[in-house]
Structure formats: structure tokens, C-alpha cells
Amino acid sequence: MTSTKNLLFGCLAFLVVCALLGAIFLRTSVTPLTPQATTESNCQPLVASRPMSVHWEDTLARFPAQTHPADYAQGIRGRVYVDDWKVPTVANVWFVPRLPNLPASLQTDTAAWPRDAIAPTRAKVAPDWDFALGLSVPESTSVTGDLWIITDSIPDHFVGTVSVLPKQWQNFGSIRLPAGTTIEGSVRTSAQPPRAVEGVAILLASSDQHPLSFVPGREQGIVAYTDATGHYRIPGAPVGHIRLRAEAPGWAAATKSLEVGRAVVSCDFELVPGSSLQGVVFDKDGKAIPFAKIRATCSVSSAFCADTTTREDGMFEFVSVLRAGYSLKAEHEDFVTQELGPISAPAHNIRVRMQRLPSVQVQVNSKHGWMLREFDVMVKQVVPKNAVYRNTLVPRQHVVTNPGIPGLIRKLPPSDMPYVLQIEAPDHAHGFSEPFLAAPDTDPVFQMVRLGEGGSIEMQVLSHDGKFLQGVVAFTTPIPFQDDPISAHDMATTDTNLTRAVAKSGMDGHLTLSLLAPGRYMVKLVHPEHCSRLLSDIDVVSGDTTRLGKLVLVRGTRVSGAVTPAKRIDSLLRVLVVRRDMPTSPTPQDTFCVGDTVISPNGSFRFKARIPPGRYHVVVGRSNRPDSEYSSVLPLMTREIVLDENTPDLTLNLQAPQK
């Protein structure tokens, strides 16, 4: 009896031990292996947890397809077709609205959109390839957005930007989808023996690092994941330059650039153990800064650089960086760019403090003392030992304020040099603020500017025969303007405190340049049938009119002709009219050059502008460039001419050089 009990207890103990061993075995077989466990057999892949990327399936669940587009009063219709490619089994048409008040850097990040914004809308393409997408549009307004077609086997296709009006259906007609290719490959570890890695995200984006589409879930490109054998496949890849990136937590991300055609492309990756970088971006008050762009630059190789964006709580994370030194660069349109480093990965408590860009408040009063609610602002800088303010790269801003509230000019670049504001408003001459310094993380500087009526320049223009000359264009210029492209460019970009104004003479030859800021001006007079004239040293005083009286434009001479023999003409031969004191190698931009033109293939030439009376050299020369800008001309032959007021037209026959 005792032996029987012992036998039973032994059997029971054996069964318990077997059960425990079986449980341990099963637990071990389903537990993901760590990336460092590279000594296991080839039959078991390493499993990587998926990175913090938006999954396409999750996006489709967030934005369900429309079921009854006919219930909408407005929308978009069309039909798609494919050339020389298999028909996709799944196709969706997406309308992604553009938000005018959202920064351009966040237009593609749906997580940053306001809660009351119109959500992206999608509809499935019918089996007969027709589609209808209904949209909710507020009354008396329109909605502007981008139209995309996304399929399972053809590259994402941007149809165009469309504005949808209330109670209108827009028909896009037939839309041809582009043909693409398929990219496939495998992901292994670099250590021996190599192991397949499951769950690695393969990100497909264009080579210039812009998203393939702005559709939610594809802001960063198309994502595919490796299976248990480490294999991945991306159908519908675009043809041309593309960029593939393999990333997974615990592994250093790897990037490859490819030139792909219509054939199937194979691209394999070898991953090395990696690490992570985590941190937070905040301002001087400790508040989180969302949607700041963070770039991590690796000190070992540019192939391991990475970009990310901070979340709403200001946190950022790089889950697939190399175990090496990195420098971080934080950028935000409202803050000064901040650089930090070197930082050795892993690092999980990185704190990046950014300084808010300076700003200035400005109150503009009219010449009558009233506060203006609408005006334009140009930000300039004070240059030491120079009375002229310098232009800056800050864009010109049109300001509209509420009653009693000054305008706010934001995002001034930090500078040790003082700023000054140039204010322009209708019916006023422009004015300037007092110089001020703008420092980051400081309260806005307050400026008050009162505009005045300015002064004016008045004249009457007569032709060479004493008649009133209609159609004369007069414009102020900060430089001695010549009739060439270089002078036109310099006049538009030259720093000046003076007013740029244009006027045109009437039937009686009168013209007035008004609303001019006080100063000393140069004025250019231009007429198609007369020689231009430059007026200098014209003093303008606020509240007064400077009267120049009657001015005469000389008719000048229209010079044309031919160069023989024409068979030796090439694109580098030019004809110039220069004053007699010309240098050895004149240029079309020199002040002594009064005319410049190219020679046509048949040997003829004609100067656009009339040449004023005087004694000149006509030069046939060879230019060092085919265009006239910044080119010099080597004279090959010259001919002296004398022009007077009694010579309205002159035709020249010039002999081309023999060599």
C-alpha cells in the first residue's frame, strides 16, 4: 500500500514538473527577443516593436469613406484610368483642405490642425472608376484644398488644388494615374550570424525629403513593415529618385537613395544596434513648444541624421539613432534657432530652451492726428556712418488693426544693429519710426509714427518742336539709371530713404510726382519717341511743391543698319554706340555706352532707344558672353558718327571683321 502511494505521489510530482517546464518553454517561445540577442539560430527572427509612426490602417479607420456623396450640395466628380498597368484593387480619392491661418510647416501635420477645421475627406473609387466626393462648405464662402488619389499599387497622385464653392459640383473629367514600380527587400542584422528582423518600418519618401503626399497618415511617406522573415514589399512606388529609410527602436536607422525605373527593385538593409534620444523643448517660462522641428546630426556619418517634430507637450524622441555623438538643432518659426551638442546617445533628459523672436508694436497716426487702422510696414536697419537705412530680409507686411489697438510686427531676426520701421499708407508720404533695438525673449517695443502729406515735384514736358508731350513716364530713382537690365535691377534693390514714385504726363504735358518723403531726388523721364533725360539734385520739402517748369526732350536719332558679310555673324557679335572717350574694352553697362544691341542672323541690327545728339563711335565687337549682362566687348572695328537734332533716322552699313 505504501509503495502504491509513493508511486502515485511520484507520478503526480513528475506531471507538475512537466507542466512547469512546458509553461516556461511556451513563455520563452512567444517572448520577443531583444535586438542584442544575436546568438540565436537563423530560424528565429528578431522582433522589433513598431516605431511611433502613423499606420495606414489606423488612418483609414480615422477617416471613414463616404457612403452617400449624393446627399451633399457640392463636391468633386471625376473618373480615373491607368495606362499599361494592372488595375488597383483599392483606390481612394482624398480632399485635404488648406488652412490659411496655419503655418506652412504644419499644413501637412493633421495633428496640429485646429479642432474646428474641416477634416480631410475621402471616398472610394467605384469599380467603374468613377468617383464622387461630397464636401461640407459654409454658406457664402469656399473651401480650398488638395485633391489626391491613393491606391494600393500605383504611386500617390496629386490631381491639383481646387476651390469648392457652395452648391456647385466640379467635374475633373478623366484623370490618368501614373505607372510605378515595386520595391522589395529584406532586413538583417550586421552581426554574424545575420538575423532577420521583424517589425522594421521601411519608410519610402522622395529624395528631396518632401512627403510623397499630404494625405493624413502619409505625411512622412509610405510605410511598410518587415514580416517574420525580415522581408518587406512596397507596391506603387514612384519612378525616379526615391529615398528608403529602415528604422526600429533599438536599431540605428539606415537610409538609402535609389534611382528606380519600371522594373522591380530590390533593396536590402543591414542594421546595427542603436539607441535613442529623448527630450523636451520649452520657452523662457517653461511652457512647452509644440511642432518645433528637431534635427539630429550624427558626428560619424550623415547617413544616420534624422528629423522629428515635437508633440503638443514639447517632447521629442529619436528611437533609431546610432550609439554615437549627435548635435541637435531646434527650429520654429516663432523662435530663434537653437543648437545643442555634442550629445552622446543614449540620452533621455535633453532640455532645449528656445528664445522667442523679437517683436515691435507700432501705432500709426495720420497727417490729421487720427490713428490709422491699415498700413504697410517695411523693416529696415540703421547702418553706422550712413544716413540711408538698409533693407532687410523681413517680408513687407500689410497690417490691419482693430480700433485703438496698435499693429504688431513679429519675428524680427535678432541683431545688434538698430531697426527702423518704414510706414506707408494711402494718401500719405511714407515715414519712419525711431531706431530701436530688438532682443529675443523681451516684451514688444512700442513705436509711434505720424505720417505727413510729403512734398511733390511738378513739371511740364515739351517735345523737340515745342509741343506738349503726352505719355512721358517720370519715376524717381536712387541711382543714375541707365537703359539696361543691370540698372533696372539695381534701382529696384538699392537701399533708399526716398519715395519710389511714378507719374505720366497728360495731354498738356503736365505731370506731378506727389506724396514724396522729404529729401534730394533724381527723376528719370522716358518717352518712346524721344531720348530719355535724367534730372538730378531736386530738393523736396514736406508740404511744398518743387516746380521745375518746362522741360524739353530731344528727339534724337533712331540708328539701325546691317553688318556684312552676314555669313560670318554669330551670337557673340554686338553693336555698341559709345562716347568718344571709351576704354579699350567697353561693357554695355558703362555710363559712356548709350546704345547696345545684338546682330540678327541676317546681319541687321536696330537700337531700341534713340541716341541723343553728339559725336560717337559705333563699335562692332565680340562679347565674352552671349547675353549683355556683366559682359565686356572686345572692339573689332569702329566707325565715327555725328548725330544732330536734324537727323531723325540713320542707317549704317558696317563691314564685319574677317577673322
Express the helix, strand and coil content of the chain in percent, nearest 5 each: 10, 45, 45
pLDDT of 6: 55
Rounded to whole angstroms, the Cα distance separating 260 from 258 reads: 6
The predicted-structure confidence for 462-517, as pLDDT tens digits, reads as follows 998 889 999 999 999 887 655 544 455 455 567 788 888 999 999 999 999 999 99
Q: Can you give the CATH number for the domain in which 604 is found?
A: 2.60.40.10
**Would you say residue 236 lies in a domain?**
no
- Assess if residue 212 is contained within a domain: no
Q: What is the CATH number of the domain that holds 114?
A: 2.60.40.1120
Grid coordinates standing for 395?
517680408
The grid coordinates listed for 335 are: 523662435
Distance between CA atoms of 228 and 30, rounded to whole angstroms?
A: 13
Over the stretch 99-132, which tens digit does the pLDDT of each residue have? 554 444 444 444 444 444 556 788 888 877 888 8
Distance, in Å, from the CA atom of 450 to the CA atom of 362, rounded to the nearest integer, reads 11
Mean pLDDT for the chain overall: 78
Domain check: are 512 and 574 in the same one? no
Residue found by looking up cell 525673449 in the block = 441
**253 closest CA partner among 315, 196, 316, 298:** 298
In a domain, 17, yes or no: no
Res 136 pLDDT > 70: yes
- Cell reading at 551: 522741360
pLDDT of the residue at 636: 78
Q: Is the peptide bond before 166 cis (omega within 30 degrees of 0)?
A: no
If asked whether residues 280 and 387 sit together in one domain, one would say no
Cα separation, 339 vs 34, in Å, equals 33
Pairing of strands 222-225, 533-540: unpaired
| Residue ending a domain, choose from 353, 377, 400 | 353
Please give the pLDDT value at position 566: 55
Position with higher pLDDT, 447 vs 249:
447
Count of domains observed in the chain: 5
For residue 329, is pLDDT > 90? yes
Three-state secondary structure string covering 60-113: HHHCCCCCCHHHCCCEEEEEEEECCCCCCCCEEEEEEECCCCCCHHHCCCHHHC
Indicate whether 650 and 608 sit together in one domain: yes
- Across residues 366-386, what is the average pLDDT? 90
Is 295 in the same domain as 330?
Answer: yes
If one compares 537 and 86, the residue with the highest pLDDT of the two is 537
Mean pLDDT of 171-192: 85
pLDDT at site 123: 84
Q: Band of the pLDDT at 207, cuts 50, 70, 90?
A: low
Alpha helix ranges (H) inside 431-583: 485-493
Model pLDDT for residues 575-629, shown as the tens digit of each residue: 888 876 555 444 444 446 777 788 887 888 888 888 888 888 888 877 766 554 5
pLDDT at residue number 374: 92
pLDDT for 365 equals 93
Q: Which residues contact 187 (CB under 8 A, 6 or more apart)?
A: 196, 197, 200, 202, 226, 230, 232, 246, 268, 269, 270, 271
- Do residues 582 and 626 both lie within one domain? yes
Residues 537-565 have a mean pLDDT of 90
Kindly state whether residue 168 falls inside one of the protein's structural domains.
Answer: yes
| Cα angle: 106, vertex 110, 115; to 5 degrees | 105
β-sheet bridge partners, residue 160: 147
Query: Mean of the pLDDT values across residues 42-58?
Result: 47
Same-domain status, 526 and 583:
no
Residue where a domain stops, chosen among 494, 528, 552 = 552
Q: Tell me, yes or no, whether 65 and 153 share the same domain.
A: yes
φ and ψ at residue 469, rounded to 5 degrees? -110, 110
Task: State the pLDDT at residue 485.
Answer: 46
Q: Are 543 and 455 in contact (CB under 8 A)?
A: yes
Upper half-sphere CA count for residue 262 (Cβ side, 13 Å) = 6
Tell me the percentage of the chain whose pLDDT exceeds 70: 77
Lowest mean pLDDT among 17-26, 140-149, 213-222, 296-305: 17-26
Beta carbons of 396 and 376 less than 8 angstroms apart: yes
**Residue 238 located in a structural domain:** no
Residue 330 has pLDDT above 90, yes or no: yes
Same domain, 65 and 169: yes
Q: Do 81 and 168 share a structural domain? A: yes
For residue 28, the SS3 value is helix
| Predicted local distance difference test score (pLDDT) of residue 247 | 84
This model's pTM is above 0.75:
no
Q: Is residue 210 part of a domain?
A: no
Q: Is 177 exposed, middle or buried (0-12, 13-18, 19+ CB in 10 A)?
A: buried
Q: Is 27 exposed, middle or buried (0-12, 13-18, 19+ CB in 10 A)?
A: exposed
Q: How many helical (H) and strand (E) elements, i.e. helices and strands, does the chain have?
A: 3, 46
Per-residue pLDDT at 99: 58
Within a domain: 642: yes
Question: Within its chain, how far is the Cα of 199 from the centroid?
Answer: 36
Digit-coded pLDDT (tens) for 239-290:
888 888 888 888 888 888 888 887 888 999 988 888 888 999 999 999 999 9
Q: Are residues 61 and 157 in the same domain?
A: yes
> Which residue is listed with cell 495720420?
366
pLDDT at 62 over 80: no
| Residue 628 exposed, middle or buried by CB count within 10 Å (0-12, 13-18, 19+) | buried
Classify burial at 596, counting beta carbons within 10 Å of its beta carbon; exposed 0-12, middle 13-18, buried 19 or more.
Answer: buried
For residue 429, give its domain range. Answer: 360-450
Burial status of residue 236 (CB atoms within 10 A of its CB: 0-12, 13-18, 19 or more):
buried
Whether 547 and 564 share a structural domain: no
Which amino acid is it at 470?
Answer: Q
Q: Are residues 118 and 152 in the same domain?
A: yes
Query: What does the pLDDT average to over 335-344?
Result: 90
Neighbours of 449 (CB within 10 A): 20
Q: Among residues 177, 195, 230, which one ends one of the domains?
A: 177
Residues 6+ apart with CB under 8 A from 277: 296, 317, 318, 321, 326, 328, 343, 345, 346, 347, 348, 350
Residue pair 273/252 in contact by the 8 Å Cβ criterion:
yes
Q: Does some domain include residue 543?
A: yes
